[in-house]
Structure 1
Amino acid sequence: MESSTIDKETLELAAQDVRRVLERQKEERQVLITQMNILFVTNTALLSFLTISRLITRFSIFSTLEIFLFFINFLLLIWALLPRRFFISPNLEKKQETQEKKEKLKFPDDYLTLSPEQYHLQMLVDLIETYNKNQKQVDDISLALKYATGVTAGIAMVALLHQVTVYFIPELQKL
């Protein structure tokens, strides 16, 4: 594609769209962090409930299952919480890798030699690559939280069954 055939208005609109998508991705990460905090609080509340009611301290199939599910759930939440490397510009990485091979390749110099249209195109390519690399990290966090949500629901169901068994069905208390 020659630089003379690129419409500046189209290029600017594309840049705005890509920036909007990156901003949306950033908001999605914030929502996931909020969900993670809610799951931590929910699990802490469930653990407190089981401890206060002394259900978890009585050895039974239910308490063993509850402890196992808590362990799995906190592992999932920690997996979601683990620091991940989010990318700002993939070209900076490429330049740093090739810097050892070439003689002092500098980021601003490479971009400043481009025509304005080529510069915009290169920035669009960089932003799209950045989005794609960061989306993998966001999807990873989302998957961990999805599993943690399911395990939290499982803990709540087991705790409810445990409580019903202990307080309303005396024959099953020995389980």
Structure 2
Amino acid sequence: MEQIQSLALSSTIAAILPETNAVQPFQAIAEPPIQSKAEETKKQEVCPTLALAAADVRSVLEQQRQESHNLTTKLNILFVVNGALLTSLTLSRLMFAQSWFSLGEIVGFLINFSLLINAFLPRQVAVSPNLGDRKFLEHYLTLTPEEYHLKMMVNLVQTYQINKQRLDDVSQSLTYSAYVTWTVALVIMLQVIFAYLLPDFKTYLSF
């Protein structure tokens, strides 16, 4: 009986020992090296930062395009308003009267339409990437993803600066045109008042 118990005990120990010996090498292999962990952390820190910066730059460029559309709408409105004022003066024949008001209106319309045409003239628009450059594919496709993002961000910033100068010129012309339009409308209103409500002053305003 004692021999049977000793045999059972020895077989149990022999069954347990291989399992414990097999676990130890598996745990040693599963541990990654410290250097690879640091490299992966560095990559995870760099890539999202570049992605966020590129998204912000593209968002600013989209706002710039929206501003360009708004300036185009203002340009059309000023053209329509000045055309309506010129048509009303022509039909009422107030512009053809020999007075200082008529002279001021003619000068105002000349200045105004000159400003509007200056804002309407086409200007060179910068785009990025420039597909007209034959070396674009040869230069950029050899870069790593991080280098490509950095190069493209620099190009987008330069594109924004060039287009900003163009939009500033258009905006300045439209601002001056709005002031001239308001002045012309004021002169027209004064001419109507003096022509129809105060006819006694008509002789003093003519030349």
TM-score under structure 1 length normalisation: 0.88
Match of 2:58 among 19, 28, 31: 19
1:137 aligns with 2:176: no
Percent identity of equivalent pairs: 47
Match of 2:198 in 1: 169
Q: C-alpha separation between the residues in 1 aligned to 2:178 and 2:61? A: 26
Count of residues paired in the alignment:
162
Determine the structure 2 residue equivalent to 1:101: none
Cα offsets for 1:75-107 (capped at 9, x unmatched):
000000010001003x749x95xxxxxxxx611
The answer for unaligned runs of 5 or more in structure 1 is 97-104
Q: 1:9-33 CA distances to partner (integer Å, 9 max, x unpaired)?
A: 0100111111011011001000000
For residue 43 of structure 1, the aligned residue among 61, 77, 82 is 82
**If you compute each CA radius of gyration, which structure gives the higher value, 1 or 2?**
2
1:122 aligns with 2:151: yes
Alignment of 1:89-168 (within 5 A): 89=128, 92=130, 106-168=135-197
Counterpart in 2 of 1:81? 120
Give distance in 1, aligned partners of 2:181 and 2:121: 19
> Which portions of structure 1, spanning 4 or more consecutive aligned residues, are displaced by more than 6 angstroms?
none
Structure 2: distance between partners of 1:14 and 1:154: 46
Unaligned runs of 5+ in 2: 1-41
Higher relative contact order (CA 8 A, sep 6+): 1
Distance 1:107 1:14 in 2: 22
One-letter amino acid of the structure 2 residue matched with residue 26 of structure 1: R
**TM-score normalized by structure 2?**
0.75
Please list the CA deviations of residues 31-50 of structure 1 after superposition, one character each: whole Å capped at 9, or x if unmatched: 00000000000001111111
What is the alpha-carbon distance in structure 2 between the residues aligned to residue 48 and residue 172 of structure 1?
Answer: 25
Secondary structure of residue in 2 paired with 1:146: helix
- CA RMSD of the aligned region, Å? 1.7
Match of 1:7 among 43, 46, 53: 46
Which amino acid in structure 1 is aligned with residue 167 of structure 2? V
Task: Supply the distance in 1 between the matched residues of 2:181 and 2:59 (Cα, whole angstroms).
Answer: 34
